[in-house]
Amino acid sequence: MAAVPQSQEHVLPSQDLPRASSAGFRLLAVHAHPDDESSKGAATMAGYVAAGAEVLVATCTGGERGDVLNAAMAGDAHARRDLAGLRRVEMARAVAELGVQQRWLGFTDSGLPEGDPLPDLPFGCFALQPLERAAAPLVKLVREFRPHVIVSYDENGGYPHPDHIMAHRVAVEAFEAAADPERYPGTGEAWSASKLYYDRAFNPERFRALHDALEEAGLPSPYAERIAQWFEADAEGHQPPAPAHATTTQIRCGDFFGHRERALLAHRTQVDPEGFFFAVSVELQQQVWPWEDYSLITSRVDTRTDPSVPEDDFFAGISPGA
């Protein structure tokens, strides 16, 4: 098994989805909370479903400790009485919009600690589980679903929420351990997924391109502060560090951005319809950045079949019969 070498940021040439059909392929996306599947890789998943692949979302926690982030839902009786239950209802609507399958792994949301010093995480929460206990349900799911490709977050969780970091850890553990028949006995027959990717939903290059497009169109951009944090030198003239994992893979999925927006809007307690995710129209996004971005981290594909990155298809080099 070979780790994929890092490459420079780039934009792949515009082209249609690489396969007329993805029938026979299986994709597993590992996410921390309900709504993460809609804000990270949703259009990619909807596109692959439309092309015939089986796509499964594994949701590690129920989002029980989330806050109501949409001011319009602040007084909602269901949200006050049973936020966890409402988030399951929202998830069902998002899943239906994307056409994916979904499974709950059954862990308790850790919440996002705030304050100085940070408070301890709640007893029994997902982020405090021993790794083998936290990964066991996912190993079982990998062996049952038998995905060709697994997608999750980088070491920082995409952003440093304790559940996102733990989701990263269990995804990597499951990718490695599910292939070893000696590990996690009692969770099914060993299965070796072919590729592991990290999602790059917060790719700085994408946000800079969208920011520039808004300014060129004379429209306000909500991204200026974030762009400055990423790209401007500090007071001593130092540049910020390069991303830990460069983009290797861009999936062209602009035709499914509408599905992504509707799936996000299904999470009414978590997503403000006037907020950050909807600052750029679908049409402008399709023109400026019609991809979703990923880093290929580990590949078990024979390099004689699939010799290099960049890629435009998760399943490049993989046989659907594998």
Q: Are 47 and 256 in contact (CB under 8 A)?
A: yes
What pLDDT is stored for residue 242 in this prediction? 58
The encoded tokens of residue 32 equal 């921390």
Find all residues with CB under 8 Å of 292, minimum gap 6, and list them.
41, 43, 44, 199, 201, 250, 251, 253
Residue 199 and residue 151 in contact, taking contact as beta carbons nearer than 8 Å: yes
For residue 19, pLDDT beyond 60: no
pLDDT at 12: 37
Read off the tokens for 238: 């130092």
Phi, psi of 133, rounded to the nearest 5 degrees: -70, -40
Average pLDDT of span 51-60: 98
φ/ψ of residue 122, rounded to 5: -65, 140
pLDDT band at 16 (very low <50, low <70, confident <90, very high): very low
Asked if 316 and 306 count as a contact pair (C-beta separation under 8 A), the reply is yes
More confident residue, 6 or 61: 61
Give me the helices (H) in the chain, please: 36-39, 42-50, 77-81, 83-98, 131-145, 162-177, 204-216, 224-231, 257-266, 282-288
For the chain, domains (ranges, CATH) are 2-203+288-299 (3.40.50.10320), 204-242 (no CATH)
The total of other beta-carbon atoms located within 10 Å of residue 80's CB is: 12
What pLDDT, in 10s, does the model give residues 128-165? 999 999 999 999 999 999 999 999 999 999 888 999 99
pLDDT for the residue 314: 96
Q: With bands split at pLDDT 50, 70 and 90, how would you rate the model's confidence at 74?
A: confident
Average pLDDT over residues 201-206: 90
